[in-house]
Amino acid sequence: MVLEFSKELKATQTNIPGLVVFDLPVHGDNRGWFKENWQRAKMMDIGLPDFGPVQNNISFNTMRGVTRGIHAEPWDKYISIATGEVFGAWVDLRPGKTFGEVFTTRLDPSKAIFVPRGVGNSFQTLVDGTAYTYLVNAHWSMEQKKTYTFVNLADPQLNIQWPIPLEETERSAADLNHPMLQDVIPMAPKRTLVLGAHGQLGRAISKYVEEKELVGFEFADADTFDIADSEAYKNYDWDLYGTIINAAAFTAVDKAETSEGRKAAWQANVVGVANLAKVATEHKITLVHISSDYVFDGITEEHKETEAFAPLSVYGQTKAAADVIVANVPRHYIVRSSWVVGEGKNFVSRMVKLASEAKTNGVTSAQAPSDQFGRLTFASELTNGIFHLLDSNAEYGTYNLTGAGDSASWYDIAVSIFDCVGADSSLIDRNSVEEYAKSTGGAMRPRFCMLDLSKLEATGFTPKPWQDNLTAYIHSLLEK
């Protein structure tokens, strides 16, 4: 082996997505050589992901011909050679159109390679005394080991041209017995944890996952995981997770104005979110957090994502504080919504019940504010939008996500519900959220709650008009 000195630092993409080969400058003289084996800033500039290594491993191989692999592991790794030379072979074992794709090259101290999670890794030493070193971005554990995926070194379908015939090499018994590609189950994606599973959005996400037959999803609520309890986080191996969808929140807007309610709101909506943000940052997890129009004062008729916070209530203050925290997570989506309607008790289900009673009895106790304006957001549509952002790899940041259509007051919506049910909408009493807040000591609410959807639509997702979803939702309730 002749080591090439003073090459220019260079990155070369391969036929396997995310697999990147690096030429490393090695400086040598009669004493030996020196190199920058891994340099975060320089390498990021030319294509190395900021993968955040947490462990450094070294495989020392005493003789020429040692052959190891093919192992796909649940982490990214950056491989280089401390001394010696190897022939490396990599196989894409992730689900998708490049499953089974092969790339081979030789590595010596002047070359390195970045291997993304799920790409099978193997090598054959070409000289005695080869030291093969690699950085990984997850801590090894037995739970992690259970997720490894393997394929056989000798699989004729892969057709890897090993420099030393495999029958002449040193291999482990385990490596000899790995399955052929046709029998390999692709490596599953990292897990997704959905919080607030019992809420309207959590139930909608659960239904979506079931209908789409998605794998790797776990659901938790306050009864199984209190996000404000820092000790509860020790029950999870966070390196196994790629996404957290936080649909958990304290949403009792008026109760948050009380002494006990204020404490509970800050615990769930701020302390809990700070804990999630910390673990998401440390483990490079994508955090999807549900925000609210209540972070604004409602003076502007339509709110953009960039509008300055001006919450009127304790609930709004806690949601604004959480948004500031989540915005500092490198991989985050803040999904700001309003007037969420899903499975369970909500304004629409209550009005459908009252309308049905009014249709039968000719009387009702229905009341609805006529001084607050916005658009309904159905949990199913909110779910569709969240998965669009995740699946399309939309740019991280804040997105407004509500139903489309014209703005309406709660009173207008109540009238639409009564009309759809066939009840007399003149029986509905108009009231005022401002008067209600003053008379009861409840929370002040923003008057205008409509959110601008243009940023979301630019990603390729256009929500359905809330009026269409309202009609379908009412009919589904009436059919029960």
The residues carrying an active-site annotation are 71, 134
Within a 13 Å sphere around the CA of 190, how many CA atoms are in the beta-carbon half?
20
Q: Which residues contact 126 (CB under 8 A, 6 or more apart)?
A: 1, 64, 84, 85, 86, 87, 106, 163, 164
Neighbours of 460 (CB within 10 A): 10
- Which helix (H) or strand (E) segment is 83 a member of? strand 77-83
DSSP alpha helices (H): ranges in 142-222? 142-145, 173-176, 200-212
- With the CA atoms of 384, 387, 388 and 391 taken in that order, what torsion angle do they form, in degrees rounded to the nearest 10? -150
From the list 373, 377, 430, 372, the residue with the least C-alpha distance to 400 is 377
Q: What is the separation of C-alpha 382 from the centre of its chain, rounded to a whole number of angstroms?
A: 15
- The answer to whether the peptide bond before residue 245 is cis (omega within 30 degrees of 0) is no
CA dihedral (151, 155, 158, 160) positive or negative:
positive
347-361 and 410-421 helices, crossing angle to 10°: 50
C-alpha–C-alpha distance, residues 422 and 411, integer Å = 16
Q: Which tokens in the block code for residue 178?
A: 């790995």
C-alpha–C-alpha distance, residues 372 and 435, integer Å = 12
DSSP 396: S
From the list 412, 411, 418, 430, the residue with the least C-alpha distance to 358 is 418
DSSP 181: G
Neighbours of 414 (CB within 10 A): 26
Identify the bridge partners of residue 322 per DSSP, sorted by sequence position.
none
Which amino acid, one-letter code, is at 127?
V
